[in-house]
Structure 1
């Protein structure tokens, strides 16, 4: 197993009703990625979908992915494509449950948002994950 130093929370920067298959198709066809951007995606109803085994490297944070488990909720923008925390109560509960499970497997891993990495110039995950999940550190 690779060394996991971070568990990173993302948003898909899509509307909350976006389908996982269409997101994966965008990664494959437009970005030419061989692996998904995230290990886990959380749908609006709170269902957690494992899109890549955690032993493999996903494409969540350029330059850091070898040491990250990437999780994302579907959503993160408003109707005008501006950053907005669109997490449903079910997504919030599922993210917290998943983070607790991952922290039990990787207790030294830091939980933070995509935007908390150096030289990242985006709002992802559209809320302050570092602050919200500081109790898990």
Structure 2
């Protein structure tokens, strides 16, 4: 059994290395709570939905970890989600933080969670867009998802505001993602 597990882990590492995936800060590393439940999604998903957290940003892993813990606590304790709502989050330090991760359903966009990956930028991007390095790592994460077969090659990229009444991902970030590959205003 241990040999099988080791072989699987080696294969996963090779896939990540060959697909030029960004390094992802694991849930255990940022201090995530255990989820109440985890629901799998069928991959590849058809949509990538961009959000912002409307919180202060963070500039290093320690501050981003604290912000993620706060967001997860809010989602689980106040909104009664089973876990943090996003699949991944992008910090002001340009690191990708694992939310619920690949293959698991987030709770970021009601009615769309079973067919999408939700990527949240930590911060409020109503008037200013995230730094270029944050935008770059988010694009790299999406390409990685396509390479790994988690996101369909012909995915549609949306801002959360296209699917529900919200200002997310903020005016400045929404303007930015309109220039990204596969952006659509409506599904």
Cα deviation per residue 1:67-104 (whole Å; 9 max; x = unaligned)? Answer: 01111110125xxxxx3344122211111111222233
Match of 1:9 in 2: 50
How far off its partner does 1:9 sit?
0.9
Number of aligned positions between the proteins:
129
Q: Which consecutive unaligned segments of at least 5 residues does structure 1 have?
A: 78-82
For 2:3, the equivalent position in structure 1 comes to none
Tell me the TM-score normalised to structure 2 length: 0.63
Partner secondary structure for residue 2 of structure 1: coil
Q: Who is 2:130 aligned against?
A: 87
Between structure 1 and structure 2, the one with the greater Rg is 2
CA–CA separation in structure 2 for the residues paired with 1:128 and 1:114: 13
CA RMSD in angstroms comes to 1.9
Q: In structure 2, what is the equivalent of residue 23 of structure 1?
A: 71
In the TM superposition, what are the counterparts of 1:1-137 in structure 2 within 5 Å?
Answer: 2-3=42-43, 4-17=45-58, 19-77=67-125, 83-104=126-147, 105=149, 106-117=152-163, 120-126=164-170, 127-128=174-175, 131-133=178-180, 135-136=181-182
Stretches of structure 2 lacking an aligned partner (at least 5 in a row):
1-40, 59-63
Contact 1:9 1:112 in 2 (8 A): yes
1: distance between equivalents of 2:120 and 2:49?
8
Instruction: Verify the 8 A CA contact 1:8 1:71 in the aligned structure 2.
Output: yes
* Partner Cα distance (2:85, 2:50) in 1: 12
1:11, CA displacement in angstroms?
A: 0.6
CA deviation string 1:94-116 (max 9, x = no partner): 11111222233321221111111
Higher relative contact order (CA 8 A, sep 6+): 1
Q: Is the 8 A contact 2:85 2:107 kept in 1?
A: yes
